Protein backbone atom coordinates (compact mmCIF):
# COMPACT_ATOMS: atom_id res chain seq x y z
CA UNK A 1 0.00 0.00 0.00
CA UNK A 2 1.42 3.36 -0.98
CA UNK A 3 0.84 6.27 1.35
CA UNK A 4 1.61 9.87 0.52
CA UNK A 5 3.59 12.03 2.89
CA UNK A 6 4.70 15.65 2.67
CA UNK A 7 8.28 16.70 3.24
CA UNK A 8 10.08 19.99 2.60
CA UNK A 9 11.13 20.48 -1.01
CA UNK A 10 14.79 20.98 -0.07
CA UNK A 11 14.86 17.64 1.77
CA UNK A 12 13.26 15.88 -1.17
CA UNK A 13 15.78 17.43 -3.56
CA UNK A 14 18.71 16.30 -1.41
CA UNK A 15 17.26 12.83 -1.14
CA UNK A 16 16.63 12.67 -4.87
CA UNK A 17 20.25 13.56 -5.61
CA UNK A 18 21.50 10.92 -3.17
CA UNK A 19 19.10 8.33 -4.58
CA UNK A 20 20.38 9.10 -8.07
CA UNK A 21 23.99 8.63 -6.87
CA UNK A 22 22.99 5.33 -5.27
CA UNK A 23 21.07 4.35 -8.40
CA UNK A 24 17.85 3.72 -6.51
CA UNK A 25 14.50 5.49 -6.50
CA UNK A 26 13.80 8.25 -3.97
CA UNK A 27 11.03 6.04 -2.57
CA UNK A 28 13.54 3.22 -1.96
CA UNK A 29 15.93 5.66 -0.29
CA UNK A 30 13.20 6.90 2.05
CA UNK A 31 12.26 3.30 2.86
CA UNK A 32 15.88 2.41 3.63
CA UNK A 33 16.34 5.52 5.74
CA UNK A 34 13.16 4.91 7.72
CA UNK A 35 14.03 1.26 8.22
CA UNK A 36 17.48 2.24 9.52
CA UNK A 37 16.00 4.89 11.82
CA UNK A 38 13.46 2.44 13.27
CA UNK A 39 16.17 -0.20 13.80
CA UNK A 40 18.38 2.28 15.67
CA UNK A 41 15.41 3.59 17.67
CA UNK A 42 14.31 0.13 18.84
CA UNK A 43 17.91 -0.94 19.52
CA UNK A 44 18.38 2.13 21.73
CA UNK A 45 15.07 1.41 23.45
CA UNK A 46 16.16 -2.18 24.12
CA UNK A 47 19.53 -1.01 25.47
CA UNK A 48 17.79 1.43 27.80
CA UNK A 49 15.50 -1.34 29.04
CA UNK A 50 18.47 -3.63 29.69
CA UNK A 51 20.40 -0.88 31.46
CA UNK A 52 17.38 -0.10 33.61
CA UNK A 53 17.01 -3.77 34.52
CA UNK A 54 20.61 -3.92 35.75
CA UNK A 55 20.74 -0.44 37.30
CA UNK A 56 20.29 -1.86 40.79
CA UNK A 57 23.22 -4.27 40.37
CA UNK A 58 23.40 -8.02 40.11
CA UNK A 59 21.67 -10.35 42.53
CA UNK A 60 23.58 -13.27 44.10
CA UNK A 61 22.79 -15.79 41.35
CA UNK A 62 23.73 -13.32 38.60
CA UNK A 63 26.98 -12.47 40.42
CA UNK A 64 27.83 -16.18 40.72
CA UNK A 65 27.12 -16.71 37.01
CA UNK A 66 29.32 -13.74 36.12
CA UNK A 67 32.18 -15.10 38.21
CA UNK A 68 31.80 -18.49 36.50
CA UNK A 69 31.93 -16.86 33.06
CA UNK A 70 35.05 -14.91 34.08
CA UNK A 71 36.79 -18.11 35.27
CA UNK A 72 35.86 -19.87 32.04
CA UNK A 73 37.14 -16.94 29.95
CA UNK A 74 40.45 -16.92 31.88
CA UNK A 75 40.84 -20.65 31.25
CA UNK A 76 40.20 -20.19 27.53
CA UNK A 77 42.80 -17.41 27.33
CA UNK A 78 45.37 -19.35 29.35
CA UNK A 79 44.96 -22.47 27.18
CA UNK A 80 45.58 -20.65 23.89
Do the Cβ atoms of 19 and 29 come closer than 8 Å?
A: yes
Domain ranges of the chain: 9-78
CA dist 60 and 67 (Å) reads 11
C-alpha distances in angstroms, 57 versus 15, 30, 66? 45, 41, 12
Count H helices, E strands: the chain? 3, 0
Orientation of helix 26-53 relative to helix 9-22, angle to 10°: 100
How confident is the model over 55-80, as pLDDT tens digits?
888 888 988 998 999 999 988 888 86
Residue 2 reports pLDDT greater than 80: no
Low-confidence winner among 5-9, 49-53, 65-69 (lowest mean pLDDT) = 49-53
- Select the more confidently predicted residue: 56 or 24: 24
Amino acid sequence: MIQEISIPDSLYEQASHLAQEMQISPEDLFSLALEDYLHRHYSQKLLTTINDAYADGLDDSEQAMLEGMRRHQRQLVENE
